[in-house]
Amino acid sequence: MPKLNALVAGSTGYIGVQLIKLLIKHKFINIRFLCGNSSVGKNISSYDKSLSGKKLPKIIKFNKKLLKDVDVVFTALPNGEAQDISKHLTKNITLIDLAADFRLEKGSEYLKWYKQKHRAVNLIKKSIYCLPEVNGKDIGRYQIISCPGCYPTSILLPLIPLFKKNLVKVNNIIMDSKSGYSGAGRGVHKKYKDKNLYESLSAYGVGFHRHNSEIDQMLKKFTKKKLSFNFTPHLTPMFRGILSTIYIDLEKGVTQSKIIKTLTDFYKNDDFVKILKANSLLSTNDVINSNNCFISVCKSKYKNKIVIISAIDNLIKGGAGQAVQNLNMKFNFPIKTAL
């Protein structure tokens, strides 16, 4: 099988570099172009020394003429920029966006949460918000693939199977998530310079973090009941990883073992979601440098409640790995290729 030529736009950010590390291992992908702005002319190895000695193109500025020579475009860009690139796609090019440009199904919602007008509203219907284990089977029909955010990935994977089976109450859910500071991008050190980043824990986006929008949008597809939840993200003094702790009320007669069986059955054929034994302690260290999501269902001191803990690597399962997983599903490559 001939290799697909790929362009990576936004190649020097934490997610972009992680994506390159995966793609150089992908036997069906040739990295044709690496694009950036302030980094033009540099080698990608200047952003990560582990890429030294790899045969990779120098970083250039994106130009729509480059699209003549590529099959797949990965965008890990500031919000809005993938929309501009999407307007120049020919029918044989797949766009896989790792930012938020096509996560929301309505332009009005994008404006509400991202404070900018969507510049490619007519292409939203040609895109799919793809959480591979949930709706990956539909990916083949779409030219634009939107990868879920890191926090939503850690929250939606444990909750969607329970919503589908009507096992939990869909109001008053508490989602408490803690992320390594890489989730805030390379500018994190300037943005949080007064926060003592390496020795303190910081809550941010309290009540109104942008990822509320996609969590809400996706969960509503699986319930007709009125949904309410509180999601609070935190930055922690570690580089990578997300640990989400979710507090839920059970429907009448539902037990912890029923929850575990439902999750286990739902993901029994999936390679990357692992349901642990009841009440297992869980750490981000269990999933670092992998495309795995580990989920533990724990008892609460209240009979009608449970606590679900999930862990992912925000740069892989919450970012670059999920993009490669979607690539593999789109082109019918073995699902674990490069992962």
Catalytic site residue 150? Answer: yes
Residue 226: count of CB within 10 angstroms of its CB: 8
Question: Which of the residues 130, 150, 293, 298 is marked catalytic?
Answer: 150
Taking every pair of Cα atoms in the chain, the longest distance, rounded to a whole number of angstroms, is: 63
d(CA 122, CA 126): 8
What tokens does 159 get? 């909750």
- Other CB atoms closer than 10 Å to residue 43's CB: what's the count? 15
Specify the DSSP class assigned to residue 250: B
Cβ burial of 161 (10 Å; 0-12, 13-18, 19+) is buried
Interacting residues of 108 by C-beta distance below 8 A, sequence separation 6+: none
What is the C-alpha to C-alpha distance for residues 18 and 57, in angstroms, rounded to an integer? Answer: 16
CA–CA dist 141, 126 (Å, integer): 9
Q: Distance between CA 190 and CA 182 in Å, rounded?
A: 13
Burial class of residue 32, CB neighbours in 10 A (0-12, 13-18, 19+): middle
- For residue 200, give the amino acid letter: S
Listing DSSP states for 37-61 in one string gives STTTT--GGGT-GGGTTS--PPEE-
Q: Are 140 and 330 in contact (CB under 8 A)?
A: yes
Return the bridge partners of 250, or none.
Answer: 168
Catalytic positions: 150
